[in-house]
Amino acid sequence: MGIRKFNNRIKKFKENELFQDEMLKHTETYLEYIQGITHGFSYAPFVAVEKKLDFSTYVPEGFGTGDCIVIGGSTLYVIDFKYGKGVPVSAEENPQMKLALGAYLEYGFLHNIEHVQMVVVQPRLFSDASEYKIPLQELLDWGEEIKPIARKAFEGEGEFVPGEHCKFCKAKVTCRARADQFTALDDFKQMKPPLISDEEVGAILEKGEHIASWIKALKDHVLKESLKGKEITGWKVVAGRGSRSYVDLDKAFQHLTISGIDEAVLYDRVPLTVAKLEKELGAKEYRSLLEEPGHVQKSPGKPTLAPTSDKREAVTNDVDAKDDFQ
């Protein structure tokens, strides 16, 4: 691609109303990761970008798109770029990433592949990529295990199994199996007063976390349907709290200064936070100018609850004796 054509493409991207400058910085992180792999070989490895992959051998009508596929030595790399920051994604034991089976089916007959490395690059959340490397045979065995399950699902058979995966399902709000899971609170009626045990507290909290997420999804669904004109028993849409904004900011402030208001009253001069400054400078320049010279100190985050499946190390505080009496 010529330089002029490339620059025109970049210009077109920037003119899109959804474009943000930070996009270029984060995609640069993704590109640098790929370059780190490809430049590690003494020869040019095979690289495919945005490749449609067919894994219908294992999942009926199954297909997906590989963001970047690299084959070098005896390793197949399947690299997924995730720009979102709402849901952290790990490559480890990730079923979506294991559908790298499609990449093996596409290129395996041309290359002597022994290992598969699945990678998730999520730069808006993590500075390091999530990597998970397994022997090819382990991946193939997993593919055989899911074959009968995928066939049942495709044919509309089997049982509905609510879980974390539900958040990606189009029917997550109105699925009866999921609703039954959250409305089945009778399990806790057998608890004996006056106090519940720590085990019971954990069980209630776990169910409550999922209920909160489900209730939010239900509210969003009811709002959307009500705005379409549907009547949902017990609910209606009303106007929320309004907001105020300037008709013309420059004219408004000019009028204020002419009226004798000091400009110092009209503006705040606030230094950028570390996170915002890193976004402005880019990760590399931020590290070289601030972190490495020691201008930034890192403090541990505020203690927060997480399920035991979370990979972060558990923390505890020394308990003061007086806390036990409060």
CB atoms within 10 A of CB 12: 10
Residues 141 and 36 in one domain: yes
Helical segments of the chain, H only = 3-15, 21-38, 95-98, 101-107, 136-154, 176-183, 198-227, 249-258, 263-266, 274-281, 283-286
Hey, what are 81's tokens?
Answer: 């770029």
- The tally of domains found in the chain comes to 3
Residues 124 and 82 in one domain: yes
**What pLDDT, in 10s, does the model give residues 162-187?**
777 777 777 777 777 777 766 655 55
Q: Is 179 part of any domain?
A: yes
Predicted pLDDT at 298: 86
Look at residues 52, 56, 53, 48 and name the one whose alpha carbon lies nearest to residue 77. 48
Look at phi and psi of residue 195 and say left if phi exceeds 0, alpha if psi is from -120 to 50, else beta. Answer: beta
Residues 91 and 188 in one domain: no
Q: Is 124 part of any domain?
A: yes
Domain of residue 262 covers 251-291
Residues 50 and 108 in one domain: yes
Residues 66 and 110 in one domain: yes
**What pLDDT, in 10s, does the model give residues 271-317?**
999 988 888 888 888 889 999 999 999 888 888 888 887 778 888 87
Look at residues 98, 34, 120 and name the one whose alpha carbon lies nearest to residue 72. 34
Residues 277 and 135 in one domain: no
In total, the chain counts a number of residues equal to 326
Q: Is 9 part of any domain?
A: yes
Residues 38 and 143 in one domain: yes
Q: Is 101 part of any domain?
A: yes
**What pLDDT, in 10s, does the model give residues 8-67?**
777 777 777 777 777 778 888 899 999 999 999 999 999 999 999 999 999 998 888 999
DSSP code string of 73-102: TTEEEEEEE----SS----TT-HHHHTTHH
Residues 193 and 135 in one domain: no
Determine the angle formed by the axes of helices 198-227 and 176-183, rounding to 10 degrees: 140
Q: Is 159 part of any domain?
A: no
Residues 13 and 147 in one domain: yes
Q: Which one of 127-131, 211-215, 252-256, 284-288 scores highest in mean pLDDT?
A: 252-256
Hey, what are 165's tokens?
Answer: 């995966």
Query: Integer distance in angstroms from the first to the last C-alpha of the chain?
Result: 70
CB atoms within 10 A of CB 152: 12
3 state SS of 232: strand
Residues 87 and 202 in one domain: no
Which domain-ending residue is among 133, 154, 175?
154
Which domain-ending residue is among 119, 154, 189?
154
Could you tell me if 89 and 122 are in contact, meaning their C-beta atoms sit under 8 angstroms apart? yes
Could you tell me if 67 and 50 are in contact, meaning their C-beta atoms sit under 8 angstroms apart? yes
Residues 107 and 202 in one domain: no
Predicted pLDDT at 162: 74
Q: Is 271 part of any domain?
A: yes
Residue 293 is classified by DSSP as T
Q: Is 307 part of any domain?
A: no
Query: Is the pTM of the predicted complex or chain greater than 0.85?
Result: no
Residues 31 and 139 in one domain: yes
Which domain-ending residue is among 128, 154, 180?
154
Q: Is 303 part of any domain?
A: no
CB atoms within 10 A of CB 42: 6
